[in-house]
Amino acid sequence: MRSLNTPSTARSFRAARQQRSVAAAAAGKHIVITGANTGIGFEAALDLAKKDYDVTLACRNDDKAAAAAQRIKAAVPGAKVSTLRLDLSDLDSVR
Ligand SMILES: NC(=O)c1ccc[n+]([C@@H]2O[C@H](COP(=O)([O-])OP(=O)(O)OC[C@H]3O[C@@H](n4cnc5c(N)ncnc54)[C@H](OP(=O)(O)O)[C@@H]3O)[C@@H](O)[C@H]2O)c1
């Protein structure tokens, strides 16, 4: 009979506990990410969507934002993703 007290069992319990705490942290949380259509912003948005956060992609180009939202929805079925036009070089965009 295999012991339950192996390092890999302990690792699985730790991973499951960590997943539960990430899911609990994400519950009801909404994150707005600037520059989210590409690069670091996109990767951050994708990762947070995978962790079940509501994400808003704040981008200056609507088409790029919509394409990024589609890529996230394709990678994460059921992801809660929205877009918002935001050009940080335009003060009318910043309120
Ligand atoms: N990549 C790295 O390894 C690295 C390392 C250290 C630091 N950084 C810094 O981290 C930041 C992001 O890097 P990245 O590689 O993710 O850059 P990136 O791929 O060039 O992405 C920049 C993002 O910012 C958006 N953006 C630029 N000007 C904007 C404005 N006026 N209003 C709203 N959005 C605007 C871009 O939108 P558009 O697509 O419409 O242009 C794009 O979505 C940069 O400042 C970079 O210098 C990057």
pLDDT score, position 1: 56
- At 33 the three-state DSSP class reads strand
Is the model's pLDDT at 79 over the cut of 70? yes
Say if ligand 1 is within 6 A of residue 86 CB: yes
Q: How far is CA 27 from CA 6, 69, 76, 92, in A?
A: 32, 20, 16, 32
Q: Whose CA is nearest to atom 37 of ligand 1?
A: 35
pLDDT in tens, 34-72: 999 999 999 999 999 999 999 999 999 999 999 999 999
**pTM for the whole thing?**
0.80
Ligand 1 atom, smallest distance to 43 CA: 16
Residue of minimum CA distance from atom 42 in ligand 1: 35
Quick: pLDDT tens for 6-27.
Answer: 778 778 878 777 777 766 677 7
* DSSP assigned state of 27: T
What was the pLDDT predicted at 2? 58
Q: Which domains does the chain have, with CATH numbers?
A: 29-86 (3.40.50.720)
- pLDDT at residue 55 in the model: 97
pLDDT, residue 24, reads: 66
* Rounded Cα–Cα distance for residues 12 and 26 (Å): 21
What per-residue confidence (pLDDT) applies to 60? 95
Please indicate whether residue 33 or residue 8 has the higher confidence score (pLDDT). Answer: 33
89 lines ligand 1 (CB under 6 A): yes
